[in-house]
Structure 1
Amino acid sequence: MGHCCSKGAVKEDVNTGSIAGVNYQNERPSRKPPTPAGDTPVHSFTGSPWQIPFPEGVGATPSPAGTPRRSMLKWPFPPPSPAKPIMSAIRKRREIKKEKSKIPEEEGKETEISLDKTFGYSRNFRSRYELGKEVGRGHFGHTCVAKCKKGALKNQSVAVKIISKSKMTTAISIEDVRREVMLLKGLCGHQHMVHFYDAFEDDQNVYIVMELCEGGELLDRILSKGGRYTETDAKSIVMQILSVASFIHLQGVVHRDLKPENFLFSTKDEASPMKVIDFGLSDFVRPDQRLNDIVGSAYYVAPEVLHRSYNVEADMWSIGVITYILLCGSRPFFARTESGIFRSVVRADPNLNCSPWPSVSPEAKDFVKRLLNKDHRKRMTASQALTHPWLRDENHDVPLDILVYKLVKSYVRATPLRRAALKALSKALTEDELIYLSAQFNHLEPKDGCVSLDNFKTALVKHSTAAMKESRVLDILEKMKPLSYTQMTFEEFSAAAISPHQLEALQGWEAIANTAFQYFELEGNRTISIEALAQEMNVGESTHSTLKDWIRSSDGKLNFLGYTKFLHGLSIRSSNTRQQQ
């Protein structure tokens, strides 16, 4: 099973840049080096690392980082590296929970509430499998090679993840194991998912039987190539990662720990396919839900995870970090300490100027930039990334994207003015964006060039797995009911399925916005009062002074600034911030 920040941390060797595991669960003494002179000590917990000043060497751009190195301690599932104040807060929370889990007895004695550690799995593991050598050890257990004695897998070698029940000390840790098995079983079937065979248990352990991948980790391949892939080889790796990411995201699952160590090659062959492993940190998430627990590995964690509000876009950031490493052999965010890494993730921009980046294609650099965008709303989805110009010439399918459902749901419930603004924007789209939209429209299998709610439902059910039902992704169809009474042409679908936030991240956004505003002037712009505009955007009177600048005094219609801001949306927080500046 993977590890969340309440179960372990990672120490970085200041001299070598390598990472070593530190086990907090067993209360081992910390092996973290002393705080370097000049670093400000942290004494209180904060979900955001902004309060902490940059460590020496971290400014507008991250410090150069060497090729990621193998851990000093060979953990098969390396624990993540949350910052010191986060770990301090979690340890305190654990102590409080431990106290609450004890019931005082008449004579002042205390007994811990017994935990039910039965999972309902088959208990005949020993009769079906013969355990072999250990191939890895993690925080909660270890992984061994085993040979099947009978059944469909007779004489076949498999990997068995053995999780000790003695280390399941809380109801949460028990649920973590149950969820990991549920995820592996529900997601089984994708070509880049590690294949799940079965789960067993006895009084001491839980046994998760999976496909044995003998080709080693992606990290090992990166190191064997001197830390850098050619663009052609990098594309092959990235497409496999995007393929499985788009699959699990459509099912309503966020992995939360995508990194080179968690991708294994099936065989040692150079052209061997990869498999994603370790769903111990993964979780089910509805399309409109935001998760808030800080989990993952420091070098790959997304900014919004540190701010405790994220969804599947956090995985896309991690894929951006992996792509950066593949193309240049170093990390995009680096610091001497864990909290320093977090500050770099939140504040610094990835360095795309130093060698070898001048020799990397503009398309590859744009690809990395659009994944490492700190605003999660502007980040590409996995399906969108597969249509990016850098990957477009490759032979691959474009999967159905759950983002389309989220955007169409908002469109059919939007006001007429907003729909008119989006329709104008859709007429200014470039061919690059239309390729993605055409692929998504075709997934809906239109009839006579139109789609309705039935098309959206059929497409989603067609790609449904047990995991999708568990994550309740299908619930989004209930919020799309206005489509029951109408049909969408491709033109209207394009208006409904575009994200102004993502378009703003494009280099050609200004030209797109100008063209769109011309269409809006002809077909959608109308006289509107400040009060009506505030109601349209669902904001209060405090925003009126801001909205005044969006309306032309000559005819009372939205000006260009107003149009672009109206597309973007305005929150009460952002408007108050503007007034204070």
Structure 2
Amino acid sequence: MGNCCVARPSPGKRRAGGGGNHRGGRLGGANMQSCSAISSITDPGGASRGWAPATVLGKGLAPDATAAELLRRYELGEELGRGEFGVTRRCTDTATGESLACKSISKRRLRSSVDIEDVRREVAIMRSMPAHPNVVRLREAFEDNEAVHLVMEVCEGGELFDRIVSRGHYTERAAAAVMRTIVEVVQHCHKNGVMHRDLKPENFLYANTSENSPLKVIDFGLSVCFQPGDRFSEIVGSPYYMAPEVLKRNYGQEIDIWSAGVILYILLCGVPPFWAETDEGIAQAIIRSKLDFEREPWPKVSENAKDLVRKMLDPSPYGRLTAQQIVAEYLPTEELEAIRELFHMLDTNKDGHLTIDELRKGLRVIGQNVSETDVDMLMEAADIDGNGTLDLKEFVTVSIHLKKIRSEDHLPKVFSYFDKNGSGYIEIEELKEALSPRGGQKAIDDIILDVDKDKDGKISYEEFELMMKGGMDWRNTSRQYSRAVYNTLSRKIFKDISLKLDPCSGPLAGAAKEQREVD
């Protein structure tokens, strides 16, 4: 687990309110000649004039350079956003021309030690967090007498919130793509000992205006570093997205999953799950945790999607899914989606099972010229439950697994499976043992003939690697060779837990839940 390079606040510390509005806006503006000019625009009017902390970043969080250096390195541009604590402006790196954002936080608006601590923690977390494509990157931090200035990656595609408003609600596939990003961000944060504590659509920005723009999380001002088992009691966050245990003042990292679950609910139907006219009413609805799946469009939403919402919004944090479980079980990768679509295309009668006739015809339709014998072989090897048909899970498992066992990461494990005596070669007796009783001497002779390039009567790792990377497509190999290899791998390696190649781990596990769903 990573650390934030800053002392963690006492888990017992309380802060009334919250809401995550301490950030200085979004992205940046208007040419200026001095850092005090930045601060005067950050803090217009006299209401906030008065005491300001001498330093915010302090010992151990020293600025990357003086504030005067900010104006030498960057040209400041138009205002991009404004918040309770300051303003964010566009800035351009004068050396490279790169467009960035400068978030200026007015010291005079940091009215308490808690506000100061929030800024310090935000800088510490952003500095120490390992790079991630969906986390906004902090370039540099500056400080002068009036403000703290954070130069960071600019996002110009607007908020996720705005896209939800413009769409009304998302399709399941579109929602799954957004949710995968959000949950992977949560997974990254938790792996590095960071609890975000203010996940909401307003805190996810698109890098650009394109439909497929990367989505990035911002605003770590309410975030906190944690160790496993830590419990916190300060009430922070934004009302609609708070977990019930936050309101009960006893929580851990599971609150980020709850907030992500609220976002998923909104993505799928366009409104929050726990709503009322007042904050008190919202809090009461959250404590009750009753989900409405009756109104439109929920009757048209799949049971799999509703099941995920329920498990992310489990009122018990100990029953709630982890980020890792969500990614593994519910959010299909593009590869899995493509296989799933192929299955539904081949399943012509839409009964959720592929017969050998459907498999044979379907392979011809998509241009796979496979012999009758090899279609029989494919069906026999993939039909794990032996009922004569392939369900979605069997089809996905065998498709993904064939690709997995060909990968460089797993080839040494597969080779070791055959190389029983650890000699560094697969010998004839080892091959015979692995292929029996199905292979037969003819299959063994064919494999040795095809694979043993140096004709020494055994298969080296290099020969095995060449076979596995080039020979798993049965169209490019002899029938005996492909049948023997496929049957061996599917019936022995699939079931050998010592290889740690569990086809029901990772994204495959969710396939069974989608078995009856037809797009």
Work out whether residues 188 and 195 of structure 1, in 8 Å CA contact, stay in contact via their aligned partners in 2: no
Q: Is 1:134–2:98 an aligned residue pair?
A: no
Which whole-Å CA distance do the structure 1 matches of 2:114 and 2:335 have between them?
43
Which of 1 and 2 has greater Rg? 2
Which whole-Å CA distance do the structure 1 matches of 2:211 and 2:299 have between them?
28
Which whole-Å CA distance do the structure 1 matches of 2:244 and 2:308 have between them?
18
Q: Residue type matched to 1:392 in 2? A: P
Q: Is 1:213–2:158 an aligned residue pair?
A: no
The equivalent residue for 1:143 is 88
Shift of 1:490: 6.3
1:298-377 alignment runs, 5 A limit:
298-377=239-318
The equivalent residue for 1:158 is 100
Aligned with 1:176: secondary structure? helix
What TM-score, normalized to structure 1?
Answer: 0.50
Which whole-Å CA distance do the structure 2 matches of 1:262 and 1:5 have between them?
23
Shift of 1:125: 1.0
Which whole-Å CA distance do the structure 2 matches of 1:76 and 1:363 have between them?
37
* Cα 1:192/1:117, change in 2 over 3 Å: closer
Shift of 1:348: 3.5
Q: Residue type matched to 2:87 in 1? A: H
Shift of 1:9: 6.3
Shift of 1:169: 3.5
1:519-538 alignment runs, 5 A limit:
none
Work out whether residues 289 and 315 of structure 2, in 8 Å CA contact, stay in contact via their aligned partners in 1: no
Shift of 1:157: 1.2
Q: Is 1:392–2:332 an aligned residue pair?
A: yes
Work out whether residues 229 and 326 of structure 1, in 8 Å CA contact, stay in contact via their aligned partners in 2: yes
Q: Which has the higher contact order (CA 8 A, sep 6+)?
A: 1
* Identical amino acids, percent of aligned pairs: 42
Of 128, 152, 174, which aligns to 1:186? 128
Work out whether residues 115 and 170 of structure 1, in 8 Å CA contact, stay in contact via their aligned partners in 2: no
Which whole-Å CA distance do the structure 1 matches of 2:161 and 2:332 have between them?
26
Q: Residue type matched to 1:215 in 2? A: G
- Extract unaligned runs of 5+ from structure 1: 11-20, 26-73, 78-111, 397-430, 450-488, 499-506, 508-581
Work out whether residues 5 and 296 of structure 1, in 8 Å CA contact, stay in contact via their aligned partners in 2: no
The equivalent residue for 1:504 is none
Which whole-Å CA distance do the structure 2 matches of 1:324 and 1:149 have between them?
43
Work out whether residues 24 and 103 of structure 2, in 8 Å CA contact, stay in contact via their aligned partners in 1: no
Alpha-carbon displacement from aligned partner over 1:126-151 (angstroms, at most 9, x marks no partner):
2111211111111111111111112x
Which whole-Å CA distance do the structure 2 matches of 1:114 and 1:161 have between them?
18
Shift of 1:115: 5.5
Which whole-Å CA distance do the structure 2 matches of 1:115 and 1:375 have between them?
44
Shift of 1:395: 4.0
Shift of 1:173: 2.4
The equivalent residue for 1:249 is 190
Which whole-Å CA distance do the structure 2 matches of 1:318 and 1:114 have between them?
33
Shift of 1:349: 0.7
Alpha-carbon displacement from aligned partner over 1:17-70 (angstroms, at most 9, x marks no partner):
xxxx9x9x9xxxxxxxxxxxxxxxxxxxxxxxxxxxxxxxxxxxxxxxxxxxxx
Q: Is 1:378–2:319 an aligned residue pair?
A: yes
Q: Residue type matched to 2:292 in 1? A: N
Of 99, 104, 117, which aligns to 1:175? 117
How many residues matched?
A: 320
The equivalent residue for 2:172 is 231
Which whole-Å CA distance do the structure 1 matches of 2:103 and 2:52 have between them?
28
Aligned with 1:200: secondary structure? strand
Shift of 1:294: 0.6
Q: Residue type matched to 2:332 in 1? A: R
Which whole-Å CA distance do the structure 2 matches of 1:278 and 1:326 have between them?
21
